[in-house]
Amino acid sequence: MSNSVIVINDEKFETEVLKGEQPVLAYFWASWCGPCKLIAPSIDWVAANYSDLKVVKMEIDPNPNTVKQYKVEGVPALRLFKNGEVVLSHEGAITKQTLIGLLEGHL
């Protein structure tokens, strides 16, 4: 079964990410962000191909609380959570291969 990216907001963050049973990749993006459009297919690919990983995406502008809490300073930004803790943090555009390499070290 392939998973898809779950769109979340500040209110859903704790339930969907921090209280998750499995590792969660949080993808922070913005509608005005060109590089976000470039990496979106890679994020979708990861969601579809890693059954043991939950992938969520959050638009930064309407969700300032989470953005501030996890020090998202630029988009696209990625945070990998395990047991409610950030174990990987990346900001900026990233190739699919690099993304896979980062994830493989933590899953």
- List the catalytic residues: 33, 36
d(CA 77, CA 101): 16
| Pair 50, 107: CB distance under 8 Å | yes
